[in-house]
Structure 1
Amino acid sequence: MLTTKRLIGLATAGALAATAVPAMAQVTAGSQEVGAYVGEAFGDDLSDRKINGRTPELDDDLTYGLRYGYHFTDAWGLELSLGQTNTSVTGLSTSDIDLDLTTFDVDAVYHFNPSSRFVPYVLAGIGYASADLDRPITGTVNGGGPVRIKDDNGFTLNAGVGAKYFITDNVSLRLDARYRYLDKVIDRYDDSLNTFETTFGVGFQF
């Protein structure tokens, strides 16, 4: 939560500092946009079973990545995102296990008021998620024999809202909040995850 507050504070300060810089209509048909972002990803229960009597969880942690967008019209666009979350599995009877989560998303984006400096938007899309555990999760499930759980890959869905604030005709600051569904990240006793991400980014349009 502290990371999120810092990001929001930074974005607000940047937006206020930019009010003295002139900007014109920004989101236009045929334009492209590249950008980078950083933020916080909020986790969820990793499994639908208790392992050693405890439910493993995906921890809240830093997320970052790159984005590329193409605007078919002033309002409609398509965005590709490659993200990385270096998080960990907590709630274990042993020490936490590092887990690197990589996501690739393809999203449809709709911009409101695209001719202004401040441009709100909504987005939704589908993608692919790949998990990389440092070591397998081991233990017993429901009093049974020992199990060894490894990482896995699956699809992901996301939907969210955000806003771009153009500092100049080409450079924008961006706040984004989105819900993310993860099909699975482990290969046994998996459960779908309902997570949430808040990010701050900088974009360049050309």
Structure 2
Amino acid sequence: MDNETDFKITNFYYEEAPNSNAPFEIPRFNGFLAEKKFLSKEESSLLYKSFLEKEVLIKKEISQNLESKFSNFILNGYRFYDYFSLFNDSDSKKLNTRIQNELKILAKIFDFKLKEESMHSWLNILRKGEYVPKHCHILENKPSLSYVIFLNDSETTFNLEIPHFYKTSKEGELNHFPEYLVRPNMGQMIAFPSWMFHSTKFHTEEDKRVSLAGTIKLF
């Protein structure tokens, strides 16, 4: 781990398919996952409680833009509000600044340039029996960076798909999409390219699984 950045970075590189006679061109994507401790246990506990208290206000904001039958499920409405626009108190502003500062450090490592004004953030709250289906975050076909901050420990892993590692059968079919599993730890921050698909399994714990997530465009 680099003392200057404090990020643990796992790189995923394109792996040559074993069958060179595949009847199509295999995409060559590289990706990464960056991880670090972002919040203390005390900070995480306070934010966990604060986020749950704000859920009603968030659902109200979502319901103005989303069909009522879906608006009660907060995970469906992340496109319809921005957390740091909806809540602009001093504590939220400080948190927003801290997140952007960390993303700037990460951008410097990979020689990215951030469009800071484009950051869009939202809450993920999983109750028992809920899950996040596989998806990615592509912003207007522009390159972007995604982040997640976990507010509590959970056995419900964050599953990051690594689509650029391919195996091919003798017929040349894609048949292997491995996942990199991240077990949420209180106060942990992760970041990855927004094109990488991710999901969770069904949440089976009584305690709600809470995280703050977002995307930011790159130049």
**TM-score range, shorter-chain basis?**
under 0.3
Highest Rg: 1 or 2?
A: 1
Q: TM-score, normalised by structure 2?
A: 0.25
| Structure ranking higher on relative contact order (CA contacts 8 Å, 6+ apart) | 2
Whichever structure has more strand as a proportion of its residues is: 1
More helix by share: 2
Provide the TM-score with structure 1 as the length reference.
0.26
